[in-house]
Amino acid sequence: MDTNSGLVGPLIVCRKNALNHDGTQKGIDKEFYLLFTVFDENLSWYLDKNIKVFTGDPSKVNNEDEDFQESNKMHAVNGYLFGNLPGLVMCKDDNVSWHMIGLGTFTDMHGVHFQGNTIHLSGTTRDTLALFPHSSGTALMQPDHVGIFKVVCRTFDHFVAGMKQMYEVNRCSSTARPGQPYGTMRTYYVAAEELEWDYAPNKTWALSGKDASYGKIFVSPGEDRIGSKYKKVVYREYTNGEFTEHKDTYSGLVGPLVICRKGILNEKGLRREIDREFALLFMVFDENESWYLNENIEKYLHKCPDDFNHTEDFLEGNIMHAINGRVYDNLHGLTMKEGANTNWYLIGMGNEIDIHTVHFHAETFIFKTDNDHRADVYDLFPGTFQTIELIADNPGTWLLHCHVTDHIHAGMETTFTISKSGIVFENAIS
């Protein structure tokens, strides 16, 4: 199968009696097929012909030029980039079936995100799903919001390169099913603020007292290394619209936006049945791509960015394998009491290297799909999210980390502590 030349398409297998006489699915108003893949035109049988037809002077084309090869990698949905895919039109309240396909190579990890409406997948309601090379999935949608929305791949490189399309929901009938009831309206005052961020305020874990420590390249400043401090921009919540007083983080807006069923929250906006909630973002922050890179070179290396040599060590040292923006056990506050009923909101963002196997030592948790599943490791991919339920059974201080070898070596690890009332544990970390 030569996918890079275009020979690919879906074959849908249905249960007996699932189809109408015309071959459409019973109970489904619209069916759409979305193929997410990076078409590498450098590997197409038609490459030479395309060079002859579409370049101004074929004799000047260097097939081995890196920029030329990169320009031939098309991050497409159904072969289209940047919103050019036609036909994704439906009516409000339609029963819509989305058949999604992944093809390609190891870079084809796609976090497919539907803006504006939710999908039903494996017994859950969500707005994202993960696709891998030569895998597929079907999600159902009953859109309840009218408008034009995006369906995109949330893997950063793919999104920037054009793997994003639009779908349209129209109000086609005057009679519609009742909309979802709205609950209490809450107002949050949030501002984006520049600050100095330290990925590792405490460097004891990272350096281990050895000059040859693996963490040195990430957290120790040097001749061509910035270290652990960078200028960044973060969201901060305030108490009111004057934006003069910060709201404390324990009652403030921290992390994800969690949507709950009616009656789940108390008058303070907290979940009634949960003792503690934690949000964890697993992401490799590439400071080489930051808008503040030149400012960071000037401030922390005291050198002119225009003349500075971006060595391999410099580039590597700016890649921060972080949990909530912290590396090497610098994420604090993951504490609970024995027997506590906790929920953890696991978030995966980033790029093609952001495959994270989140491992909780000494504990197991429940995650829900069509059924309840018990595990101690959960896989996260760019643009995907999962809520897990953990009952704190084993007092002590335990490791919590990504099990991908490169990531844990680079600092994507922290600890969580389970204590009994009035007792402080000093267990060795396991």
Residues 249-288: pLDDT tens digits? Answer: 544 445 677 777 777 777 777 777 889 999 999 999 999 9
How far is the C-alpha of 430 from the C-alpha of 415, rounded, in Å? 10
**Token couple for 355:** 């495959």
Q: State whether 67 and 14 are in the same domain.
A: yes
Last residue of a domain, one of 143, 170, 197: 170
Where does the pLDDT of residue 427 fall: very low under 50, low under 70, confident under 90, or very high at 90 and above?
very low
Q: State whether 164 and 262 are in the same domain.
A: no
Q: State whether 369 and 285 are in the same domain.
A: yes
Q: State whether 139 and 242 are in the same domain.
A: no
Residue 179 is assigned to a structural domain of this protein: no
CB contact at 8 A, 95 and 29: yes
pTM value? 0.86
Residue 178 is assigned to a structural domain of this protein: no
| 137-171 b/e (C-beta count within 10 Å ≥ 16 → b) | bebebbbbebeebebbbbbbbbbebbbbbbbebee
Residue 106 is assigned to a structural domain of this protein: yes
What is the reported pLDDT for 405?
94
Is residue 210 predicted with pLDDT exceeding 80?
no
Residue 308 is assigned to a structural domain of this protein: yes
Residues 294-320: pLDDT tens digits? Answer: 999 999 999 999 999 999 999 999 999
Q: State whether 161 and 276 are in the same domain.
A: no
> Quick check: helix, strand or coil at residue 188?
coil
Residue 430 is assigned to a structural domain of this protein: no
Residue 345 is assigned to a structural domain of this protein: yes
How far is the C-alpha of 247 from the C-alpha of 402, rounded, in Å? 31
Q: State whether 411 and 275 are in the same domain.
A: yes
Residues 113-169: pLDDT tens digits? Answer: 999 999 999 888 889 999 999 889 899 999 999 999 999 999 999 999 999 999 999
The phi-psi region of residue 150 (left if phi > 0; otherwise alpha if psi is between -120 and 50; otherwise beta) is beta
What is the reported pLDDT for 411?
95
Residue 41 is assigned to a structural domain of this protein: yes
Last residue of a domain, one of 170, 203, 231: 170
Count of the separate structural domains present in the chain: 2
- Amino acid residing at 322: A
Q: State whether 140 and 8 are in the same domain.
A: yes
| 119-134 b/e (C-beta count within 10 Å ≥ 16 → b) | bebeeeebbbbbbbbe
Last residue of a domain, one of 170, 201, 225: 170
What is the reported pLDDT for 422?
57
Dihedral angle, C-alpha 360, 361, 363, 365, nearest 10 °: 20
**Residue 392 sits in a domain of what CATH number?**
2.60.40.420
What is the reported pLDDT for 207?
81
Q: State whether 238 and 330 are in the same domain.
A: yes
Q: State whether 217 and 244 are in the same domain.
A: yes
Q: State whether 117 and 245 are in the same domain.
A: no
C-alpha of 112 from chain center: 10
Is residue 424 predicted with pLDDT exceeding 60?
no
Q: State whether 45 and 145 are in the same domain.
A: yes
How far is the C-alpha of 356 from the C-alpha of 379, rounded, in Å? 6
Residue 344 is assigned to a structural domain of this protein: yes
What is the reported pLDDT for 428?
42
Q: State whether 374 and 337 are in the same domain.
A: yes
Residue range 23-47: mean pLDDT, rounded: 92
Nearest to 158 by CA among 221, 73, 229, 96: 73
User: Domain range holding 260?
Assistant: 189-419
Residues 164-185: pLDDT tens digits? Answer: 999 999 999 866 566 555 566 7
Residues 1-18: pLDDT tens digits? Answer: 567 777 777 888 888 898
